[in-house]
C-alpha cells in the first residue's frame, strides 16, 4: 500500500498542468500514487498526461467523458490504494514537502485528517491563509470547524484523509454540484476522530479566471452556492455543533426587483438577518433556538 494517493481532476488546463505535475512527481515523499482523471478534456491535457505517465510509473491516467469535478474526484477515490487520500486541482500546485509533512503528522498522531495552510496565488490580491503556526491535534467538531475556517474555507485540497475513514462513513462528492467541497468538508471534519494541523508547508491555490468557480458566477452556480450553504447550516444544527452564532450564515430568501437583489434574508445557528442589497445588514433577530 502506498502512503498517499493524490487525486488530480483534469479538464482543459494544459497551460497549468505541467506546473502541477512537476510539483507532484518531485515530492519528497516518493511513496505516492498520482491519479489523474482526465474529465473529457478537449485541449492538449491528455498529451501532457501521457508524457508524464510514460516517464513516471506512479502516475495513473483515467480517461472519462466529461462529468464534472465531483464525479472526477469520486472516480479517483475508487481507484485510490493509498493509506491516505489527497486532492490537488490541476491548475494549482503544492510545496515539494507538502505530502511528506502531512503524511508524517497524520501517521505519527493517528489522525483521520491532516490539514496544511494555503496561499492564494494572485498578483493583485493578498495571500489568503489559515495562519497555521504549529502542529496541534484537534478532536471536538467545534475546534476542527474553527481551525479550518469551515464557514469560509470549506476546501478539501489542503488536507489529506485516511482512506479507511472516508470508506467507513461512505463519504463522496455530490455529482453535478458546484461548491461540493463545503459539504464534504463539513461532514468529514465532524465524523473524524482527530485532526492535526501542519505548519510550514503550503498548498498553492491559483486564481485561474477561466476555472469553474473562479470566473463569472452563472445562475446554476449561484443556486448551488446557496443550496450548499443551507445544507451545511442544517448539518451544523442537526448535529448540535456549537460554532459561534453568526459565523456561518445561509441565505434562505432573496427578493429581486428588475433582476437586481433588493434584500436577502439569511440565517445562522441562532439568528436571522436582513441584508440590504445582499450585503448591508440592517436587522438581526436573535434567539431562534
Average pLDDT over the chain reads: 93
What pLDDT shows up at residue 214?
46
Rounded Cα–Cα distance for residues 82 and 96 (Å) = 19
pLDDT higher for 123 or 223?
Answer: 223
- Which is nearest to 72 in space by CA: 180, 225, 210? 180
What percent of the chain is modeled with pLDDT above 70?
Answer: 94
Domains and CATH numbers, the chain: 4-206 (3.90.550.10), 219-286 (no CATH)
pLDDT in tens, 50-67: 999 999 999 999 999 999
Rounded Cα–Cα distance for residues 204 and 208 (Å) = 12
Residue 247 pLDDT > 60, yes or no? yes
Place of cell 512527481: 25
The dihedral formed by the CA atoms of 202, 203, 206 and 212, expressed in degrees to the nearest 10: -160
What pLDDT shows up at residue 60?
98
pLDDT in tens, 59-96: 999 999 999 999 999 999 999 999 999 999 999 999 99
Diameter of the chain by CA atoms? 61
* Residue 286 cell numbers, joined: 436573535
**The pTM is what?**
0.92
What angle is formed at CA 226 by the lines to CA 220 and CA 232, rounded to 5 degrees? 130
pLDDT in tens, 106-164: 999 999 999 999 998 876 776 778 899 999 999 999 999 999 999 888 899 999 999 99
Report residue 202's pLDDT band, with 50, 70 and 90 as the boundaries.
Answer: very high
What's the mean pLDDT in 180-199? 97
DSSP 248: S
Cβ atoms of 132 and 198 closer than 8 Å: yes
DSSP collapsed to 3 states, 51-117: HHHHHCCCEEEEEECCCCHHHHHHHHHHHCCCCEEEECCCCCEECCCHHHHHHHHHHHCCCCEEEEE
- Which is nearest to 201 in space by CA: 91, 138, 115, 127? 115
pLDDT in tens, 17-29: 999 999 999 999 9
What pLDDT shows up at residue 14?
94
Rounded Cα–Cα distance for residues 103 and 161 (Å) = 9
What pLDDT shows up at residue 267?
94
Within the chain, strands assigned E span 4-10, 32-39, 59-64, 84-87, 93-94, 113-121, 136-138, 159-162, 195-206, 250-257, 260-267, 271-276, 280-286
Residue 288 pLDDT > 70, yes or no? no
pLDDT in tens, 250-264: 999 999 888 888 999
Amino acid at each position: 500500500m502506498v502512503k498517499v494517493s493524490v487525486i488530480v481532476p483534469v479538464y482543459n488546463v494544459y497551460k497549468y498542468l505541467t506546473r502541477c505535475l512537476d510539483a507532484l512527481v518531485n515530492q519528497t515523499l516518493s511513496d505516492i500514487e498520482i491519479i489523474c482523471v482526465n474529465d473529457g478534456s478537449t485541449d492538449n491535457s491528455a498529451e501532457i498526461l501521457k508524457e508524464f505517465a510514460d516517464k513516471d510509473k506512479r502516475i495513473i491516467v483515467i480517461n472519462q467523458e466529461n462529468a464534472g469535478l465531483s464525479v472526477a474526484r469520486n472516480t479517483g477515490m475508487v481507484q485510490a490504494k493509498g493509506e491516505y487520500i489527497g486532492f490537488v486541482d490541476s491548475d494549482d500546485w503544492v510545496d515539494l514537502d507538502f505530502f511528506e509533512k502531512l503524511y508524517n503528522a497524520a501517521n505519527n498522531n493517528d489522525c483521520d485528517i491532516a490539514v496544511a495552510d494555503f496561499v492564494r496565488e494572485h498578483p493583485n490580491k493578498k495571500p489568503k491563509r489559515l495562519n497555521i503556526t504549529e502542529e496541534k491535534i484537534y478532536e471536538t467538531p467545534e475546534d476542527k470547524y474553527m481551525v479550518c475556517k469551515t464557514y469560509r474555507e470549506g476546501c478539501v485540497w489542503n488536507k489529506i484523509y485516511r482512506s479507511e475513514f472516508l470508506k467507513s462513513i461512505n463519504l463522496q462528492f455530490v455529482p453535478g454540484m458546484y461548491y461540493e467541497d463545503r459539504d464534504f468538508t463539513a461532514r468529514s471534519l465532524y465524523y473524524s476522530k482527530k485532526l492535526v494541523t501542519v505548519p510550514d508547508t503550503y498548498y498553492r491555490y491559483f486564481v485561474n479566471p477561466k476555472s469553474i468557480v473562479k470566473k463569472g458566477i452563472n445562475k446554476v452556480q449561484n443556486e448551488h452556492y446557496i443550496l450548499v450553504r443551507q445544507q451545511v447550516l442544517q448539518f451544523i444544527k442537526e448535529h448540535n455543533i456549537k460554532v459561534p452564532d453568526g459565523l456561518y450564515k445561509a441565505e434562505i430568501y432573496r427578493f429581486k426587483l428588475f433582476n437586481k437583489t433588493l434584500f436577502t434574508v439569511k440565517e445562522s445557528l441562532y439568528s436571522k438577518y436582513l441584508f440590504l442589497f445582499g450585503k448591508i445588514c440592517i436587522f438581526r433577530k436573535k434567539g431562534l433556538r
